[in-house]
């Protein structure tokens, strides 16, 4: 009788592990690409363009930055309990940036389950930017005292997008020149 119960327990554990593993794989597949056609188009673009930082399946290429800061100002909150933070500002360091958004690190911890609109001010290559954005995700780092936030730019003008694209290309070119 003991062996039957033990065998059933082992089977239950194995099935639970398999279930959660399949669920995790399905979630990763959903988040890694928004649609098959856009992924195929991006892969075609990737074949034509040199890729200096490995395979990048995102819509916009990311450029890692070091020693670059920005000023973040809260504009609006979907959660009314956070309205007392409206117009508050804090400094953050830019981890990476693309034409679609950026990832910043700071020491502040706030909930991101609901929409948070922000204004980001920063300078790259002596060009000043002031862009609206929305915080999409948060990454807490147990080993560090900082928290990373993923930000998507909202309503970026074509002029600012062209200016940012030129500067990001210049940054990549300079990084590759140093490597060569």
Asked whether residue 83 falls in the same domain as residue 172, the answer is: yes
In a domain, 57, yes or no: no
Which pLDDT tens digit goes with each residue over 4-43?
Answer: 877 777 877 877 777 777 777 777 776 654 444 444 554 4
Which pLDDT tens digit goes with each residue over 88-106?
Answer: 999 999 999 999 999 999 9
0.85 cut: is pTM over it? no
CATH number at residue 96: 2.40.10.220
With H, G, I as helix, E, B as strand and everything else as coil, classify residue 20: helix
What value does the CA radius of gyration of the chain take, rounded to a whole number of Å?
A: 21
99's CB contacts (< 8 A; 6+ apart) are 60, 61, 153, 156, 161, 164, 165, 168
For the chain, where are the alpha helices, taking DSSP H only?
Answer: 2-32, 36-48, 158-179
Asked whether residue 164 falls in the same domain as residue 102, the answer is: yes
Asked whether residue 32 falls in the same domain as residue 80, the answer is: no
In a domain, 32, yes or no: yes
How many Å apart are CA 111 and CA 74, to the nearest integer? 13
Asked whether residue 98 falls in the same domain as residue 32, the answer is: no
Asked whether residue 17 falls in the same domain as residue 43, the answer is: yes
Domain range spanning residue 125?
A: 63-179
In a domain, 141, yes or no: yes
């Amino acid at each position: 009788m003991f062996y039957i119960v033990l065998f059933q327990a082992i089977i239950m554990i194995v099935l639970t592990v398999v279930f959660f593993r399949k669920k995790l794989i399905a979630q990763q597949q959903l988040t890694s690409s928004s649609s098959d056609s856009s992924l195929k188009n991006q892969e075609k673009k990737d074949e034509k363009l040199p890729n200096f930082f490995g395979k990048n399946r995102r819509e916009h290429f990311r450029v890692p930055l070091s020693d670059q800061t920005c000023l973040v100002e809260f504009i609006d909150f979907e959660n009314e309990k956070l309205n007392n933070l409206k117009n508050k500002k804090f400094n953050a360091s830019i981890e990476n940036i693309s034409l679609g958004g950026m990832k910043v690190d700071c020491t502040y911890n706030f909930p991101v389950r609901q929409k948070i609109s922000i204004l980001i001010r920063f300078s790259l290559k002596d060009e000043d930017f002031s862009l609206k954005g929305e915080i999409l995700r948060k990454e807490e780092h147990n080993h560090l005292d900082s928290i990373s936030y993923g930000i998507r730019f909202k309503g970026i003008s074509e002029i600012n997008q062209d200016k940012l694209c030129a500067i990001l290309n210049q940054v990549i070119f300079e990084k590759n020149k140093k490597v060569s």
